[in-house]
Amino acid sequence: MTRRKPGKLFPRSQPAVSSLLPAASCQLPAAGCIWYAAGCELFLVRCLLLAGNDSITPLLTHAATHDVIGSAVIVLTVDLEEHFQVSGFESVIPRERWPRFESRLERNTMLLLEILASHSASATFFVLAWNAERYPGLVRRIHAAGHEIACHSYAHHLVYRQTPEEFRQDTRRAKGILEALIGQPVVGYRAPSFSITRKSLWALNILADEGFQYDSSIFPILRDRYGIPGAPRFPYRIPVGNGSPVLKDSRTDSQAISTQHSALSAQGPEGSELPAAGCPLDSHSTDLPTQQLNNSILEIPPSTIRFLGLTLPLGGGGYLRLFPEPLFRNALERILIAQRQMAVLYVHPWELDPEQPRVLRGSWLSTFRQYVNLHKTEGRLRRLLATFPSVSIRTVLPRLTAEAGTWAPAAPRAAEPPAERYDTRHDPR
């Protein structure tokens, strides 16, 4: 396979998919929003690099680092999607056109399975059931290799663009397809593009009703498309059903949460979550009442770091490709060593495929995020797994369940503070 040159987004040898797209090109957001978003990302990388010697890099020279790394664990997750199914391109690639695009899912997933096997690593695969219907053998092979099969919806619709009943039907259909393929319960869920936000918290009740034990959809950051800023950075339980003041009316009215009130956690030193009044959070409690466990769902957020008072994403995907590798690894060690927490990372099979066909009509920002540094993903992932053992969520689920405290999300607010906000309407993840 011929590798493309670094930094070249549209090599001539790559097939374009523009012939399959509608004649009308998508409308770009305001130019100012695009440049502001890009500037924020570049400024972030620059700040982290400049601060690396003082805030992160010293962990590498700690005398006990090698011993600690041996016991540090990465919880690796995979969003099993095609390269054309990302939310950033949905305005130019409608779902009804998916069957017309070249599928590269099987070959990319087989490469990922080889990488995992070569490092004796396991992972949780959040499978889009639309793909499972077309590649049932692939899903069975993933399961037979010892990896966990979890749910990533059926058709990759953003949760907050659905009604509760539409979401329930989509989720039930996807769960049924996956369970029929592997012959055992599917207990984990991740929303497309992390789209369980304050305005779609009602979805957690439905997930609990449908038999899911955990969710991994709430990113504790502020983005236009996703995120709940102020949410805990490490696994916790969220009350569901009649025991939750925020979620109790969700079965019939997705807007009911706008009238409910609960406390929001505050950020403490090193990114720890300090409970606000009326919202207890004990992240190390191992003695939760049985009734509390039965009336809650475990939330497992992708990893983040704290920097200059901000919570910044680190969980993987584009961040694994965008951040310089030494910086990413050092930030990861801060979570694993200094904070003694598991790191929850995610990756997509298409990120291992720098030769994938290019979508030429997407926005500049979506194109950048989709294709930047694809040629580096495989090497970075191999080196990461050579350093840290990787496990699936199911493997550590009993421990996470026992150690997690509870957190009651705040109701939606009319306006969010602008501190960490930038336009990500075309973010592919």
Domains, the chain, ranges and CATH? 31-403 (3.20.20.370)
Q: What is the pLDDT of residue 318?
A: 81
Least confident of 77-91, 102-116, 120-134: 77-91
Residues 6+ apart with CB under 8 A from 185: 179, 211
CA distance 141 to 137: 6
Confidence of residue 89 (pLDDT cuts 50, 70, 90): low
Residue 76 has pLDDT above 70, yes or no: yes
At residue 27, the 3 state secondary structure works out as: coil
Q: Where is mean pLDDT largest: 30-34, 60-64, 111-115, 398-402?
A: 111-115
DSSP string, 192-203: GGG---GGGTHH
Kindly state the average pLDDT of the residues 313-327: 86
pLDDT category of residue 266 using cuts at 50, 70 and 90: very low
- Between 165-179, 194-208, 308-322, the lowest mean confidence (pLDDT) is in 308-322
Count of C-beta atoms within a 10 Å radius of residue 277: 6
Taking the C-alpha atoms of residue 217 and residue 194, their distance in angstroms, rounded to an integer, is 4
Residue 427 confidence (pLDDT): 38
Q: Is the pLDDT of residue 30 over 70?
A: no
DSSP string, 146-173: TPEEEE--SS---GGGS-HHHHHHHHHH
pLDDT interval class at 232 (50, 70, 90)? very high
Q: Looking at residue 371, what is its pLDDT?
A: 63
- Percent of all residues in the chain with a pLDDT value above 90, rounded to a whole number: 47
Which of the two residues, 275 and 48, has the higher pLDDT score?
Answer: 48
User: Across 198-202, 372-376, 410-414, which has the greatest mean pLDDT?
Assistant: 198-202
Confidence of residue 244 (pLDDT cuts 50, 70, 90): low
pTM, whole model, 2 decimals? 0.74
Q: Side chain identity at 283, as an amino acid letter?
A: S
CA distance 390 to 393: 10
pLDDT in the model for residue 124: 98
pLDDT at 110: 98
Whole-number pLDDT of residue 412: 55
Report pLDDT digits (tens) over 211-226.
Answer: 999 999 999 998 767 8
| pLDDT, tens digit (0-9, with 9 covering 90-100), for 274-299 | 333 223 333 333 333 444 456 899 99
Q: Which residues are registered as beta bridge partners of 305? A: 312
Please tell me the least confidently modeled range out of 99-108, 311-320, 376-385: 311-320
CB 72 within 8 A of CB 403: no
Please say if the pLDDT value at position 108 is more than 90: yes
Q: Picking from 26-30, 133-137, 375-379, which range would have the lowest pLDDT averaged per residue?
A: 26-30
Q: What pLDDT score was predicted for residue 320?
A: 87
Q: What is the pLDDT of residue 275?
A: 32
- pLDDT at site 3: 46
Quick: pLDDT tens for 119-174.
Answer: 999 999 999 999 999 999 999 999 999 999 999 999 999 999 999 999 999 999 99
* Degrees, nearest 5: CA angle 143-94-156: 35
Q: How many helices (H) does the chain have, and how many strands (E)?
A: 13, 13
**Per-residue pLDDT tens digits for 346-371:** 999 999 989 888 876 766 666 666 66
